[in-house]
Amino acid sequence: MQLQNRKVVIIGAGHVGSHAGFTLIAQGLVDEIVYIDVDEKKAQAQALEAKGVRIDHVVSIEVDDHDIANRMGGRRVCSKCGASYHVVNIPPKKEGICDVCGGALKQRKDDDPATVKDRLAVYHKETEPLKGFYEARGVLKTVEDQPTVEGTTREILRVLGVAE
Ligand SMILES: [Zn+2]
């Protein structure tokens, strides 16, 4: 089944959002995806509208702050080859050491708990009001984050009415 209008905005959850977006594009379900993540502002949505860009569907992925903090706080990246790990979800065989190249695993500045907390505060202040902006235009749908990226993608397809 095809969406009638094919311009979609996905708010939040960077990696999960891009997986869902990729799936929608790859299956030919939509023409264009606009991502709005932390750091994006309502002004940008207004600017899009002022340029005459009509948004047909907006999906907001709802993730608990606590889950985001755990997810990002546990991320580790190899300082040599850039491979990524998670202390709980994708642990390396040897703590602190990259499976691929033996390099030391580091926490990125973006993932440190204080930075994550700041970014969440910005998200609630600057990004979340976008939901009201799009709700008023009748295009907002929300999706609860699922334990797997595939699960969240399925939910997004379902709210867009294109699930098989
Ligand atoms: Zn490595």
**What is the phi/psi pair of residue 74, to 5°?**
-90, -5
109-117: Cβ within 8 A, 24+ apart: 110/72, 111/72, 111/73, 111/75, 112/73, 113/69, 113/73, 116/68, 116/69, 116/72, 116/73, 117/69
The Å distance, Cα 77 to ligand 1 centre, comes to 8
**Residues 19-35, mean pLDDT to the nearest whole number:** 66
Please tell me the predicted confidence (pLDDT) of residue 16. 57
Query: Between the CA of residue 97 and those of 100, 106, 139, 162, what are the distances in Å?
Result: 9, 9, 46, 42
Please tell me the predicted confidence (pLDDT) of residue 157. 83
The Å distance, Cα 107 to ligand 1 centre, comes to 13
The Å distance, Cα 131 to ligand 1 centre, comes to 39
**pLDDT greater than 70 at residue 4:** no
The Å distance, Cα 35 to ligand 1 centre, comes to 30
The Å distance, Cα 82 to ligand 1 centre, comes to 6
- Per residue in 61-83, pLDDT (tens digit) is 888 888 878 888 888 999 999 99
The Å distance, Cα 71 to ligand 1 centre, comes to 20
The Å distance, Cα 13 to ligand 1 centre, comes to 26
Q: Take residue 34 and report the two structure tokens written for it.
A: 């606009």
The Å distance, Cα 9 to ligand 1 centre, comes to 35
- Per residue in 75-118, pLDDT (tens digit) is 899 999 999 898 988 899 999 999 999 999 999 887 888 888 88
- Choice between 38 and 32, residue whose per-residue pLDDT is larger: 32
